[in-house]
Amino acid sequence: MLLIHNVCPDHGDRLIRRTLTTDEPIPKGAVWIDLLKPTSLEDKKIEAHLGISIPTREEMHDLEPSEIIYTENGAHYMTARVICQSETDVPKLADVTFILTEAALVTVRYDEPGAFGIFLNRATKPDGCGMEPAAVLEGLIEAIVDRAAEVLRGVGDRIDARSRQIFDGKSSDVEQGGAYQAVIRKIGQYEHLISNVRESMVSVERVLLFLSANFKRSKKSASAITPEWRSAIRDVQAIEEHATFISSKLQFMLDATLGLVGLEQNKIIKLFSVVAVVLMPPTLIASIYGMNFKAMPELEWAHGYPMALAMMVVFAILPYLFFRWKKWL
């Protein structure tokens, strides 16, 4: 799908989104060309229009670390990993290639990250976005960072909810182990999601550092890092620090959960131990009177059987009372 975003000067500068067919020419004033699952014909059309090469999906996926970010024929090629909603509850990472030229920004993607929808909602409003390729790229990166922060905030809220569930859980849930099992499974999912956010922000930070060192615009600061890039880099680093903090909370929750599981197991083992000690004296008495010796006068007693039962009950109660006195139960 070939999506073209033109400048609309009436009622304030804003972007207009158009979907082009393969036969339609690229209109003038297109500052952003978004290739969503492009065909080979669409790739060739953009290559002929801007004089650049468009990477295929296989090339984007198999890029070496040294080939993720580079400059070719005056165009800056940058591939970042962006948080994208998946069929499961855990968002995945989608490869997005940004090609920044003087004429237009080209994005090549084969998924639909939520950050693109967030940016389009802003950019299609009057004065919602700058009307040059670099400004569009700034807005996209800002939306990607905002989306990552939103995902991370959601993870933090769910972690707090799970923490309350495990530490304030009902005794029935704890005894059955249902709460512990659910929390441990969720901890694994949350850690995977946090790793995805961190990996995405690392790739975005590389893009920003590359732009700050290799791309300068007129009417901007003479320093290597323009204010926009500097602010975005700070935001990315803040998200990375937040991800590290949440990851440490997850590790604490995992350790605490495993510790509580150990405590519950110790309670069960202690219960079995008490039952074994309580039943030991009655078992001894029953074993003694179960022996087949002739010289056992108690066997001839009329009240021998009730006496043996009474002894079993008494010697079973005594250890229990002793454990209660020692507060071991």
pLDDT in tens, 305-326: 888 888 888 888 888 888 888 7
Angle, in degrees to the nearest 10, between helices 178-214 and 227-288: 160
Whether the pLDDT of residue 302 is over 60: the answer is yes
Q: Is 35 helix (H, G, I), strand (E, B) or coil?
A: strand
Whether the pLDDT of residue 138 is over 70: the answer is yes
Structure-token match 């005594």, residue found: 318
Indicate the pTM of the whole model: 0.73
Among 100, 107, 102, 50, CA closest to 76: 100
Token reading at 278:
């309580």
Q: Give the pLDDT mean for 207-223.
A: 65
Largest CA distance in the chain: 117
Going by pLDDT thresholds of 50, 70 and 90, the confidence category of residue 165 is confident
Q: Give the pLDDT mean for 148-176.
A: 74
Q: What are phi and psi of 290, to 5 degrees?
A: -95, 0
Q: Give the pLDDT mean for 142-169.
A: 84
Confidence (pLDDT) at 225: 43
CB of 59 closer than 8 Å to CB of 72: no
Whether the pLDDT of residue 126 is over 80: the answer is no
Tens-place pLDDT, residues 80-115:
889 888 766 678 888 899 999 888 889 998 888 888
Task: Report d(CA 78, CA 74) in Å as an integer.
Answer: 13
Beta-carbon count within 10 A of 249 CB:
17
Confidence (pLDDT) at 11: 45
Whether the pLDDT of residue 61 is over 70: the answer is yes
Confidence (pLDDT) at 3: 61
Q: Where are the beta strands (DSSP E) in the chain?
A: 2-8, 14-20, 30-36, 69-72, 75-84, 92-100, 105-109
Q: Give the pLDDT mean for 34-52.
A: 85
Whether the pLDDT of residue 6 is over 60: the answer is no
Whether the pLDDT of residue 176 is over 60: the answer is no
Confidence (pLDDT) at 4: 60
Among 156, 328, 162, CA closest to 247: 156
CB of 153 closer than 8 Å to CB of 190: no
CB of 126 closer than 8 Å to CB of 14: yes
Tens-place pLDDT, residues 21-33:
767 777 777 888 8
Whether the pLDDT of residue 62 is over 80: the answer is no
Confidence (pLDDT) at 222: 39
pLDDT more than 70, % of the chain: 82
Confidence (pLDDT) at 98: 92
